[in-house]
Structure 1
């Protein structure tokens, strides 16, 4: 198994859309790591090897890419099953069918995707902790029994918005404590979507202080998307509107909707973004974030978005989250190349390459 370099690797995040992995896109920006998640309630529990996302994952492994796979349990409409219940047995049986396929093949397995988001509000307590601890022990025991400890490392997570004091609940404390006292776990997975760099720093300090000093962290999603969202009701620069014939009162969410409705040439998309101070303020975001994460000496791998909102429904409303702004490749706002491939996005593709060099 290839391991992350001591400085912390930077890879590509595909979330649940592993079917969107394109090896040529990865190689164009020197990406060596891939991350995605499997929804344990959506996968064919009897034939997980036939799942299109699993097949895409294995094709990437065969092509030489390193892989992080997260296991998602969507309990937003369900209570966590009680210990000893038939519902819990059903969850464990699905896990038992998946683990033989992925252990020994993926480099890192993450127990959980965003557990505190993917749970009912009244279940974000000991019920959540007991469920994820049960899943973790099932994975640990299976890995030990079949001698996969040297080929697949284990993490738990991912945790969100722990820059906010009110998010630092007893259940979060228990989650981190379990990671700290469980030697088979390498560390914690984080999703630092923040408003400021101080937020990124605060979340890291909080989490790393609560796990063992030798444990590391993943940052399998990271953006400034909440900062961008604050500006969706701002009016677009007058210079851009005048040049391209838009009303001077056009707002950012409306201009992005227009680009999705009828994709623009890449240069027009770049021109729009480069005239928006709220966007350009963080044009070096990937470089700066990776420097911060690596400065801890405890980053294992971070992965940045390669597939933001390809299927986004129109229009982009004024209170929607503009995920499509942050992909390494241009999202649905830019025309495809003549050969049908996607253009690199501005400025994230160049940022991604630069962060690889600085690793």
Structure 2
């Protein structure tokens, strides 16, 4: 299960209903300036779930889209490492996997990607490795990965900086592998991620997929009209775009059957009903998958300002908790294609 930075609603009831064993979130490092790490909501949630017996993954997010990345040896780097230490003190030996970085190439200014990015992340990684070693004991059970790489289905993303990132992962024995985020339109694009990454790291290293989805496929059909049968059945104009119907559902949630009818009668969605099972199997077939986590709940940001240009992340989620009403006995609405697939995957050997 992945909740990114929005742990609201991530209860053991939700997890157990899905038979989930792993949970992942990310912490923006800037949060540590105002909130002690054990009280930061993502860290607090993961530590609580770890205490309850779930396996946990925490990604460290360094948001530098609008300012230069600090460089080793500077006061800015020292300040960043101090933030890292706050998190390490709270989570080493408690979370199962710590990912150094969230989406570094998207969270760094374009002009810094070829120059500042790798020196920054190499320094952070060296610091984390040294601190874990200094603490020893239980801290050593927290495994370390670098993450996460995006858009590897696009050859334009196969830059010297990305190759330098992977070369660093390969050369550092304390790193167990790399995280990838295959947000794609089909399985052929998804496979390009592992085809690119795996030959560039050591054969004893593995990969995580802490985020993966068909969000770009959904976006291609976000402005399609609702199915004609849906329009007739629920009394909406036949030219109503999908995004508008979903915007209205977010404002006034619909019955679960109506949500199911909308999606499963839309060919662009129904044709991808086996995507989750097929993508996880594709990753497992590499023999190198460590853990894959998938989005479970529709968060507040997903339903904010819905319009034709908004990325439809909410169509990924295993629950339709913000667009469809719960059942009379309080059960959350389910993704009509992926919920059962996710549960079935938990009973099959693999991560």
TM-score (norm. length: structure 1): 0.94
Any runs of at least 4 consecutive aligned residues in structure 1 with deviations exceeding 6 A, and if so which?
Answer: none
Instruction: Note the C-alpha offset of 1:59.
Output: 1.2
Where do residues 235-246 of structure 1 align in structure 2 (5 Å cutoff)?
235-246=225-236
Q: Does the CA contact (< 8 Å) of 1:116 and 1:124 recur in 2?
A: yes
Where do residues 208-227 of structure 1 align in structure 2 (5 Å cutoff)?
208-227=198-217
CA root-mean-square deviation? 1.4
Are 1:277 and 2:283 an aligned pair?
Answer: no
Are 1:327 and 2:317 an aligned pair?
Answer: yes
Partner residue in 2 for 1:64: 53
Where do residues 303-342 of structure 1 align in structure 2 (5 Å cutoff)?
303-338=293-328, 340-342=330-332
Instruction: Note the C-alpha offset of 1:355.
Output: 1.3
**With CA pairs under 8 Å and 6+ residues apart, which has the higher RCO, 1 or 2?**
1
Structure 2 counterpart of 1:259, from 249, 262, 272:
249
Structure 1 counterpart of 2:337, from 344, 347, 356:
347
**Where does the alignment leave 5 or more consecutive residues of structure 1 unmatched?**
1-11
Cα 1:312–1:292 change in 2 (3 A) is closer
SS at match of 1:20: coil
Partner residue in 2 for 1:4: none
Partner residue in 1 for 2:110: 121
Structure 2 counterpart of 1:162, from 136, 145, 152:
152
Partner residue in 2 for 1:37: 26
Are 1:75 and 2:75 an aligned pair?
Answer: no
Instruction: Note the C-alpha offset of 1:45.
Output: 5.9
Partner residue in 2 for 1:28: 17
Q: Does the CA contact (< 8 Å) of 2:31 and 2:40 recur in 1?
A: no
Are 1:192 and 2:216 an aligned pair?
Answer: no
Partner residue in 2 for 1:248: 238
Q: How many pairs does the alignment contain?
A: 348
TM-score (norm. length: structure 2): 0.96
Q: Does the CA contact (< 8 Å) of 2:295 and 2:316 recur in 1?
A: yes
Instruction: Report the Cα distance in structure 1 between the residues aligned to 2:9 and 2:70, rounded to whole angstroms.
Output: 33
